[in-house]
Amino acid sequence: MSLGDLIPYEEPSEAEWAELERVVLDELGDESPARPAPSRRRATWALVAVGLVAAAAALWLWPRPDPAPIRSQTIRMATSTAPSATSLGEVHVQLGPGGSGVAVGGDRQGWVVTLESGRADFSVPPRGDRPSFVVQAGEVRVEVVGTRFSVTRHPRPGLPDRVEVTVAHGEVRVTSGGGAHLLRAGMRWSSAPVEPAPAGEVSREAAPPPPSTEASREPSRDPAPDDATLFRRASALESDAPDRASRLYAAIARRGGRWAGAALFARARLEHDRGDRVLAGRLADEYLRRFPDGVHASDARRLSSN
Amino acid sequence: MTSAAHTEILARERDLAQRCAAGERAAQESVFALLRIPIHRTLHRILGPSRHAMDLTQDAFLEVFRSIGSFRGESRLASWAEIVAARVAYRHLSSRPPRPTHLSLVPEPVDPGPGPDRTTDAREAIRRLYAILDRLEPKYRVTYALHVIDGRPLQEVARTTETTYVAAKNRAARARRMVNERARRDPLLRRFLERGGETP
């Protein structure tokens, strides 16, 4: 027997693998092409300007091409012990601990999210002329009219999964077993449970609206707590693992929440401190483009001109 | 495995690597599925049961994907990825703040005597073993983990750690000496190492 035989290998769960694969492949997809050298910067800008003028002229003179083909994206979502937030175009999704699901679609053709397990909270802008947004949890289909709501799927071996839908704002249409239910703000629906339902739960029918506060009726637009935690984690990683800190800042900046500006600038500063002035300059430029009046604008200008 | 079958596998993996380097998403997913265990297992062996293994698996995969264009197909893709993973672990260990080097200054572990069962003892012994490895220089730790714990031949360890056979052999011997010296004063760890074929 060797020493290795006595040390058990603990393989991560499928959900952890799925999350890691998503992060790695997304990061590969996001990687930008090679950056220009600083000495060529001015020449590059001139070329870009000439190119833009030529492109504008071509667009004005040329007949309009056929629309670009609509491409679907597939986004896998999985969490272990901590919740995770994802954006599907304008839709904000927060997946609770131990959850997993797959989103397929795009902004032009609409999204279908298949919830495999766990709880997911959705914040969906009113549909109007927008394409549909659908959540499928087992046999239960939730079609969104424009709202903020959550869907929870409880897998039960040998039994149909129990699915709960709670609407915080707006309305959704739930279809299950041939029946359809329109749920409005404050209503909750649950598929028929085989075992006794928890106290206060109403099956198959829309529950009477529970007392709701003004705060719960406000549209959700604050992903800050999540991003704030990530930002703190990135700050703590700066000294020991600057690569990971930089990647974390990049992810926060990409998500476009309230911490995006701070993360973008922090990454620019970090790269500057690490000696990559070209990348720092590029990030500072991006900061100034996205947040021209941001609190770090003057510092970003200094980084940009370095 | 016959030589022809081995050659065919190498050719298939070389083709997969090339498609992956060209940015083909399906190939990237296949490579991820193929390499996830070899990479994670290598890191797990070097780092022990630690939360860093998963973080570093991410770093190792990014490095694999960025450099997969240089994979020549002279060895299995998994062996090549294990080398990348070992380098990532080595860099991680080297970049940490320095640890105390004098093992004599580290408090003696207390042997609680026979535990309620062997599993509990083994878990505690593993923790103590990695606590000792945590205080070794990265080159000794990586060599010990790959050669003594994982049982890989020294030639392979030398290739993985980018050193000569003789240097790898010396590192393994020195790492063994340092771990064993410590284990001699810790009955629980000594019993554990003896069960694994070591003689502290």
Range(s) of chain B covered by CATH 1.10.10: 103-195
Instruction: Label the pairing between strands A73-78 and A100-106.
Output: antiparallel
For chain A, percent of residues with pLDDT exceeding 90 = 0
Q: At residue B145, what is the residue type? A: A
In Å, how far is B126's CA from the nearest CA of chain A? 7
Q: Is the pLDDT of residue A256 over 50?
A: yes
The pLDDT of residue B132: 92
- The CATH fold of domain B3-95: Rna Polymerase Sigma Factor; Chain: A (1.10.1740)
Average pLDDT over residues B100-124: 51
The string of DSSP letters for A167-232 reads EEEEEEEEEETTEEEEEETT-EEE---SSPPPTT---SSPPPPPP--HHHHSPP---HHHHHHHHH
Task: Please say whether the beta carbons of A146 and A170 come within 8 A.
Answer: yes
The pLDDT of residue A260: 85
pLDDT digit string (tens) for A13-25?
888 888 888 888 8
Q: Is the pLDDT of residue B154 over 80?
A: yes
CATH of domain B103-195: 1.10.10
Nearest residue, CB atoms, A28 vs list B28, B96, B148: B28
- How would residue A50 be classed by pLDDT, with cut points 50, 70 and 90? low
pLDDT digit string (tens) for A106-141?
776 677 788 888 888 888 776 666 777 888 887 777
- CATH tag for A73-217 (out of 3.40.440.10, 1.20.1070.10, 3.20.20.10, 2.60.120.1440): 2.60.120.1440
Lowest-confidence region among A26-35, A288-297, B23-32, B41-50:
A26-35
The pLDDT of residue A92: 80
Nearest residue, CB atoms, B126 vs list A2, A7, A27: A7
Q: Is the pLDDT of residue A269 over 60?
A: yes
The residues of B whose Cβ lies within 8 A of any Cβ of A are 23, 25, 28-29, 32, 36-37, 40-41, 44-45, 48-49, 54-55, 57-59, 61-62, 65, 92, 95-97, 122, 126, 148-151, 192-193, 195-198
Long-range contacts of range A174-182, CB-CB < 8 Å, 24 or more positions apart?
Answer: A174/A140, A174/A141, A174/A142, A174/A143, A175/A140, A175/A141, A175/A142, A175/A143, A176/A139, A176/A140, A176/A141, A177/A139, A179/A204, A181/A205, A181/A206, A182/A206
Does A10 contact B41 at a Cβ distance shorter than 8 Å? no
- Domain coordinates of chain A in residue numbers? 73-217, 224-305
Coil, strand, or helix at residue B151? coil
User: pLDDT: is A217 or A24 the higher one?
Assistant: A24
User: pLDDT: is A22 or B16 the higher one?
Assistant: B16
- The CATH fold of domain A224-305: 1.25.40
Structure tokens given for A37:
């050298």
pLDDT digit string (tens) for A220-231?
333 344 777 788
Does A27 contact B62 at a Cβ distance shorter than 8 Å? yes
- How would residue A104 be classed by pLDDT, with cut points 50, 70 and 90? confident
pLDDT digit string (tens) for A20-46?
888 888 888 766 443 333 444 444 555
- Say what the ipTM of the complex is: 0.83
User: pLDDT: is A261 or A138 the higher one?
Assistant: A261
- How would residue B58 be classed by pLDDT, with cut points 50, 70 and 90? very high
